[in-house]
Amino acid sequence: MNHKHLYAASLFVFTLLSPPLQAALRILACEPEWGALAQELGGDDVSVYTATTAHQDPHHIQARPSLIAQARRADLVVCTGAELEIGWLPLVLRRAGNPKIQTGTTGYFAATDFVALLEKPQRLDRAEGDVHAAGNPHIQLDPHNILRVAQALGPRLAELDSQHADQYAQRLKDFSQRWQAAMGRWETQAEPLKGMPIVVYHRAWTYLNHWLGLDQLAELEPRPGVPPTSSHLAEVLDKMKAQPARAVIRAPYQDQRPVQWLHDHTGIAMLELPFTVGGNAQAGDLFGLFDSTVQMLLGVQP
């Protein structure tokens, strides 16, 4: 190896090993909705890496090497909490060798700490399926929850990066105003959806139902987290004959076949709602997520 090669090689190794020069606050978001929110509130002062996409089930993510590498350098992790990420996040945090983001530190932010959870189980028994002791963690489809989380996340960003505290406060104020205006619009638009009967794949739409007053008649999963069985689908089918639903709703990461089956047997509309940011072309950010969700639901109204 001549000197030039040696120089080039050591330069390469240094570039690889040295931390990047940007001073932005590094955020590791567990789910796309929190990644999008962190970006709204952090703007140019943060760099956000989102661990999962809308096509992945946040319950079932592997503690991949790439996630450990991101956690190693993160200044803040923004996750749902309430045990949604229990199958992978604790391991990622422990393996990262990064004391800034361990549970209980300022660098660890769990959105469900700032929201009242629904469906807190009366008793815990795994025979009931994949139940979460703290309550249903899929909080992102009630826009009021997004605002509550934003109001906690904004000050957290300012606390971690006090140099830019004014900018974070300004962005939070700006976001809150735009969000409240948008909520007003969605709520007016969604007025006709009140009481609309629906069937869902997984118990992941509770907060949407709660917000819009949708009437959930059945779930395709016999128990939360247990894939639909033919006997349970037959039960749902019977129920639909007595009281038909307007739509059967699933997230992009859920199996389409049971939904298709129910559609084939009943003619009930199939609705693949975005579920989170990136779930369809329109749901490019948080505003698009709710625009799309409300519009798609209105689309199956008679």
Partner 1 sequence: MSRSITATLACLGLCLPLPVLAASGDELNQIRQQMETLKRAYETQIKALEERLQKAESLAEENRAGLNEVANAPPADSGGDQSSANAFNPAISVILQGAANSYSQNPDDYALPGFQLGDEAGLPSEGLTLDETEITASANIDPMFYAQSTFSFSDGNVNVEEAYGDTLALPAGFGMRFGRFYSGIGYLNQIHSHAWDFHDSPLAYRAFLGGQYGDDGVRVTWTAPTDLYMMFGAETLAGNNFPGGESQSVTGDVQTLFAKFGGDVGASWAWQAGLSALLANANNRSTDNAASGANTVFNGDSDLYGADVVWKWSPNGNPQIHNLILRGEYFYRDESGKVNVSDGSNDGLLKYNGDQTGWYAQAVYQFMPQWRFGTRYDRLTSDNHLNVVSLGGFADANALIQDSGLADDGHDPHRWSAMLDWSPSEFSRLRAQYNRDNSRLNGTDNQWTLQYILSMGSHGAHLF
Is residue 95 close enough to count as binding partner 1 by CB under 8 A? yes
Is residue 233 close enough to count as binding partner 1 by CB under 8 A? no
Is residue 242 close enough to count as binding partner 1 by CB under 8 A? no
Distance CA 283, CA 285 (A): 6
> What is the DSSP code string of 56-115?
S-TTS----HHHHHHHHH-SEEEE--TTTTTTTHHHHHHHHT-GGGSTTSTTEEEGGGGS
Is residue 110 close enough to count as binding partner 1 by CB under 8 A? yes
Footprint on residues 28-87 left by partner 1 (CB under 8 A): 52-53, 55-57, 60-66, 68-70, 72-73, 81-82, 86-87
Count of residues in contact with partner 1, rule CB under 8 A: 69
Contact 218, 272 (CB under 8 A): no
Spell out, one character per residue from 199 to 228, where the chain touches partner 1: x when CB under 8 A holds, - when not. Answer: --------------------------xxx-
Burial label for 201, CB within 10 Å (0-12, 13-18, 19+), is: buried
Candidate residues 113, 119, 215, 285; the one interacting with partner 1 per rule CB under 8 A: 113
Closest residue by Cα to residue 228 from 245, 242, 248, 205: 248
Rounded least distance, CB 118 to partner 1, Å: 12
From the list 40-48, 96-104, 269-277, 287-295, the region that binds partner 1 by CB under 8 A is: 96-104
Rounded least distance, CB 21 to partner 1, Å: 13
In the block, tokens 């409240």 appear at 180
216 strand-pairing partners: 198
Residue 145 φ then ψ, to 5°: -65, -40
Distance CA 288, CA 245 (A): 26
Binding site for partner 1 (CB under 8 A): 16-17, 19, 52-53, 55-57, 60-66, 68-70, 72-73, 81-82, 86-92, 94-99, 102-105, 110, 112-117, 126, 129-130, 133-134, 144, 147-148, 151-152, 166, 169, 172-173, 176-177, 180, 225-227, 253-255
